[in-house]
Amino acid sequence: MKKRITGIIITLLLLTTIIIGGSFYMLSFSLKPDFPKDEASAYKDMFSTYPFLEQWVDSLNAVSALKGMSILNKDGRHLNAYYIAAPQATDKTAVIVHGYTDSAIRMLMIGYMYNHDLGYNILLPDLQYHGFSDGTAIQMGWKDRLDVLEWMDIANDLYDNTQMVVHGISMGAATTMMVSGEELPPYVKCFVEDCGYTSVWDQFSKELKEQFGIPAFPLMYTASWLCDVKYGWDFKEASAIEQVKKCQLPMFFIHGDADGYVPTRMVYPLYEAKSNPKELWVVPGAAHAVSYRDNPQEYTTRVKSFVDKYILN
């Protein structure tokens, strides 16, 4: 009997050790991945995918129109952003939010659309742990929403009483939706989210099953608890869908119908959770975060049609 009890205790201790070790690994794997953060790599990637950006960026740099700035957020972290004034003076402004392991530079294609094609002032922040911004780990949009609110105020001050759209892709889209549920200043007029996830819990559960063949219980629960201890938030509270439910401003939902990374199915409950006004475009054949790349003219036309309803000349 004593040997049996000892065996059970040893087994439980081993399982506990495995679960705790797995939780630490999951958190590090998800929130502290190794990826290039330098400008040179970001520009090289952008120019190879969007060759037209190189001439545009060169023209901006020739007149010092592409500017950088940094701030201290409320937690005392240094955050970086880039901003570009519109070709002609305007109060129309877009804050553009990048995705997971990307950076502000990697969103210049959307910056080009708003600034070059639509005549907007733009501001593109580096989220925590990305680009030149500080941070102990990726925040998956949840803490980032508070930083983006600060950047929105700064953009409004830079461009003097603006009419503003916030536009994000992937994790940046989730960030955008998370922002949308906060108390917002009157200059914010609408949002565009492109392939954002419903919640961090849903996205990580999906990745855990697909990449490792592991069910949500118990690892998601222990890793979420560990995230709360280390970073001050948990996977379930970091919910775009709950924030969207509180949003009263117009939102345009975009998602590729061939998206396997943030599955297309996620856009439908997000869209249903949002009250009117809202619009949805499920892009035929588009994989994750490439709807603009694959359909630049239609993407620009549809975004313009949406924002023009709420941001007036």
Q: What does the pLDDT read at residue 22?
A: 76
pTM of this structure: 0.95
Average pLDDT over residues 3-28: 65
Query: Is 70 exceeded by the pLDDT of residue 205?
Result: yes
> What is the 3 state secondary structure string of 118-141?
CCCEEEEECCCCCCCCCCCCCCCC
Average pLDDT, the chain: 94
Q: Find the range with the poorest average confidence among 21-25, 49-53, 116-120, 126-130.
A: 21-25
pLDDT higher than 50, residue 237: yes
**Beta-bridge mates of residue 92:** 163
Whether residue 14 is predicted with pLDDT greater than 90 in this model: the reply is no
How sure is the predictor about 246, in pLDDT bands with cuts at 50, 70 and 90?
very high
**What order of strands is seen across the sheet that includes strand 78-84?**
67-72, 78-84, 121-125, 92-97, 163-169, 188-194, 251-256, 278-283
pLDDT class for 20, splitting at 50, 70, 90? confident
For the chain, percent of residues with pLDDT exceeding 90: 88
Asked if 200 and 30 touch (Cβ cutoff 8 Å), the reply is no
Which tens digit of pLDDT belongs to each residue from 270-313? 999 999 999 999 999 999 999 999 999 999 999 999 999 999 98
Angle at CA 220, nearest 5°, toward 274 and 175?
Answer: 35
Beta bridge partners of 164: 93, 188
Q: Residue 280: its pLDDT value, please?
A: 98
What pLDDT, in 10s, does the model give residues 87-139? Answer: 999 999 999 999 999 999 999 999 999 999 999 999 999 999 999 999 999 99
Q: Is 119 exposed, middle or buried (0-12, 13-18, 19+ CB in 10 A)?
A: middle
Average pLDDT for 220-231? 95
Q: Is 279 helix (H, G, I), strand (E, B) or coil?
A: strand
Residues 215-227: what's their mean pLDDT?
92
Q: Averaged over 78-83, what is the pLDDT?
A: 98
Domains and CATH numbers, the chain: 1-31+201-231 (no CATH), 38-199+238-307 (3.40.50.1820)
What integer pLDDT is reported at residue 16 of this predicted model?
52
Question: What proportion of the chain, given as a percentage, has pLDDT over 70?
Answer: 94
64 vs 230: CA distance, rounded Å: 40
What is the structure's pLDDT at 18?
59
162 contact partners, CB below 8 Å, separation of at least 6: 91, 92, 93, 121, 155, 156, 187
Q: Are 100 and 156 in contact (CB under 8 A)?
A: no
Among candidate residues 142, 138, 136, 129, the one with its CA nearest the CA of residue 197: 142
The per-residue pLDDT for range 136-180, each reduced to its tens digit, is 999 999 999 999 999 999 999 999 889 999 999 999 999 999 999
Measured CA to CA, the distance from residue 261 to residue 270 in angstroms comes to 16
Average pLDDT on 226-250 reads 97
Residue 106's identity, in one-letter code, is R
